[in-house]
C-alpha cells in the first residue's frame, strides 16, 4: 500500500476523508465481522441465520496467550556509562509509570484491537497537569502516517482525528475553544505532528501551531502481523472470514433440518382427503383400503454428510487460526506433557511472532517514556533509553522445574537474579531484591 498523498494548504478534515480509504474500509469490515455481522446479503423474512462467532473467541484466545501477565523490563546500560544505581532508578521509574497507568490492561486492549483490525497504535506525551507521561492506546481508524521511504519503521509525520465535546476540548487544551458553533455537538479535533512542529485543528479552525516540544513524533504504530514490504499490518481475521461464513451457513442448514424433523411431514398415498390425520401422540388414523401413510424421514444419511462437512470446517478453522483444540483445554485424547506441547506448538509459534513485534513496540515506547521522564520530569537517567522486555512463559510450566532451571542459569551467570525473579512471576523484582539485600544485611549484623 502506498502512503497517502501530501496535504494541500487548507483545513485537514475534508482532505482526510479521501486518504487511505481502502485501509479504513478494511477496518470497518473486520470490526463488523468481529462483532457478529458475518452473513452476506439482506436477511429474508422469517429466515434463520446462526452466527457461531469463533472469530471473536480465537482472537481473544491468542491475545490471552500473548500477554498472560504484566511485562517487566530491564534497562540496558548502552554506551552512556550509567551506574547500576542509575539503571535501577530508570527501571523503577518506568515500572512506576506502567503501574500508575495500569498499562498492562491498556496493552491487552491494544493487542486485541490490532488482532482484529490489523494495526495498533499508542500516543506517548507528557501531561503537565499530572506531571507524568501518558501512554494512550489510539484507534488506528483515526490515524494516518507517513514514513521514510528507505526506513518504514521511522515515521516523520502522523495525523490523528478524534471527536470531543466542547467542554472536553477546554479541559484537553486548557482554554475555551471558539469555533463559532453553539449547538453542543462533538467537535472534530485533528492533530498534525511532525518532528519539528505540530498543529491542532478544531472544526477547521487552527488553535495551535507551534514547535514540537518533544523533537519526535509521539506515536508508536505497529502491525499485528507484518505484511511483506508494507507499513500497515494484517488482521488475524483475514484467513478466517470464508471459513466462518461457511460454518455459519452449514450449521444453519443443520438447524433447519432438525427443526423440520421435530414437526414431521406426513405422507399419504391413495387418500383423497387429510381430515383427521394428525401426527401427534395417541392419534388413531382410519385409512381407506390400499392406502398408506408414513412420516418423511428428514434425518437420513444426508444429515451425516452435513455433520462430516461441519467437522472438516471446524478442523480448518483451527488450522488457519493456528489455535489447536488443546488451547481450549480439550485435546480429545490422553497425551503426555511433551506430546501436548508439540500439539500446541502452532499457537506458540504464532504468539512468538507477535511478541517480536511487541519487542519493537516496547523498545520505541519505553525510549519515549524515559526521554519524557528525564527532560520534563527531572529524573536523572544519564541518557538511558534502551530496554529489554522480560516475557512470561507462553505455556503453563512445572514451577519446581522452572525454579531449578533459573537457579542453574543464575549460578552460571547467564541470568541475573532480578531476571529470574521476573521469569518466576514476581511482579516487582526490584522491591523483592531490596528486601533480600536488607534481610542479608540484617542477618550479617546478627552474625557479627
- What pLDDT, on the 0 to 100 scale, is given for residue 1? 43
Q: 14-23, 30-39, 296-305, 439-448: which has the minimum mean pLDDT?
A: 296-305
In angstroms, the CA 385 to CA 392 distance is 23
Instruction: Say how many residues make up the chain.
Output: 448
> CB 400: neighbour CB atoms within 10 A?
8
In angstroms, the CA 65 to CA 111 distance is 11
- What pLDDT, on the 0 to 100 scale, is given for residue 175? 72
Contacts of 314 (CB under 8 A, 6+ apart): 247
Per residue in 74-110, pLDDT tens? 898 876 678 888 998 999 999 999 999 999 999 999 9
pTM over 0.85: no
- Return the DSSP state at 325: G
- Contact criterion met (CB below 8 Å) for 368 and 124: yes
- What pLDDT, on the 0 to 100 scale, is given for residue 425? 72
Domain spans, the chain: 398-448
Per residue in 47-59, pLDDT tens? 889 999 999 999 9
Listed in sequence order, the DSSP H helices in 219-264 are 241-261
Give the Å distances, CA to CA, from 165 to 177, 188, 411, 447. 10, 9, 59, 66
In the numeric block, the cell 488450522 is attached to 319
For the chain, give percent helix, strand, coil, nearest 5. Answer: 45, 20, 40
Amino acid at each position: 500500500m502506498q502512503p497517502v498523498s501530501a496535504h494541500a494548504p487548507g483545513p485537514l478534515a475534508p482532505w482526510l476523508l479521501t486518504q487511505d480509504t481502502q485501509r479504513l474500509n478494511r477496518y470497518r469490515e473486520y470490526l463488523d465481522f468481529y462483532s457478529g455481522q458475518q452473513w452476506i446479503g439482506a436477511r429474508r423474512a422469517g429466515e434463520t441465520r446462526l452466527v457461531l462467532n469463533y472469530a471473536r473467541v480465537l482472537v481473544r484466545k491468542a491475545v490471552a496467550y500473548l500477554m498472560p501477565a504484566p511485562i517487566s523490563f530491564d534497562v540496558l546500560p548502552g554506551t552512556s556509562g550509567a551506574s547500576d544505581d542509575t539503571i535501577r532508578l530508570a527501571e523503577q521509574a518506568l515500572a512506576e509509570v506502567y503501574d500508575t497507568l495500569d498499562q498492562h490492561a491498556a496493552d491487552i486492549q491494544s493487542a486485541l484491537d490490532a488482532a482484529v483490525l490489523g494495526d495498533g497504535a499508542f500516543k506517548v506525551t507528557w501531561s503537565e497537569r499530572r506531571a507524568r507521561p501518558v501512554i494512550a492506546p489510539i484507534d488506528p481508524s483515526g490515524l494516518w502516517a507517513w514514513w521514510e521511504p528507505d526506513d518504514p519503521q521511522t515515521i516523520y509525520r502522523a495525523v490523528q482525528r478524534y471527536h470531543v465535546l466542547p467542554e472536553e476540548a477546554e479541559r484537553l487544551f486548557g482554554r475555551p475553544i471558539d469555533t463559532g458553533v453553539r449547538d453542543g455537538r462533538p467537535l472534530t479535533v485533528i492533530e498534525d505532528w511532525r518532528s519539528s512542529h505540530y498543529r491542532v485543528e478544531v472544526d477547521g479552525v487552527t488553535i495551535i501551531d507551534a514547535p514540537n516540544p518533544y523533537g519526535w513524533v509521539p506515536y508508536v504504530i505497529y502491525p499485528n502481523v507484518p505484511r511483506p514490504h508494507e507499513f500497515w499490518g494484517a488482521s488475524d481475521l483475514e484467513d478466517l472470514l470464508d471459513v466462518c461464513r461457511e460454518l455459519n451457513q452449514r450449521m444453519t442448514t443443520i438447524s433447519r433440518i432438525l427443526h423440520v424433523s421435530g414437526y414431521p411431514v406426513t405422507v399419504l398415498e391413495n387418500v383423497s382427503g387429510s381430515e383427521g390425520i394428525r401426527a401427534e401422540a395417541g392419534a388413531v388414523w382410519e385409512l381407506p383400503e390400499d392406502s398408506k401413510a408414513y412420516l418423511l424421514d428428514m434425518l437420513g444419511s444426508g444429515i451425516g454428510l452435513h455433520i462430516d462437512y461441519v467437522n472438516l470446517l471446524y478442523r480448518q478453522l483451527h488450522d488457519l487460526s493456528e489455535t489447536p483444540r488443546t488451547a481450549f483445554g480439550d485435546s480429545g485424547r490422553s497425551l503426555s506433557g511433551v506430546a501436548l506441547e508439540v500439539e500446541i506448538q502452532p499457537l506458540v509459534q504464532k504468539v512468538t511472532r507477535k511478541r517480536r513485534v511487541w519487542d519493537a513496540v516496547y523498545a520505541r515506547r519505553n525510549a519515549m517514556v524515559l526521554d519524557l521522564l528525564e527532560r520534563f520530569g527531572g529524573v536523572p537517567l544519564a541518557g538511558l533509553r534502551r530496554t529489554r522486555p522480560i516475557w512470561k512463559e507462553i505455556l503453563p510450566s512445572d514451577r519446581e522445574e522452572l525454579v531449578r532451571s533459573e537457579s542453574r542459569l543464575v549460578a552460571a551467570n547467564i541470568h541475573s537474579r532480578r531476571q529470574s525473579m521476573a521469569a518466576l512471576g514476581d511482579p516487582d523484582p526490584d522491591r523483592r531484591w531490596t528486601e533480600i539485600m536488607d534481610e542479608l544485611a540484617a542477618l550479617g549484623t546478627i552474625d557479627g
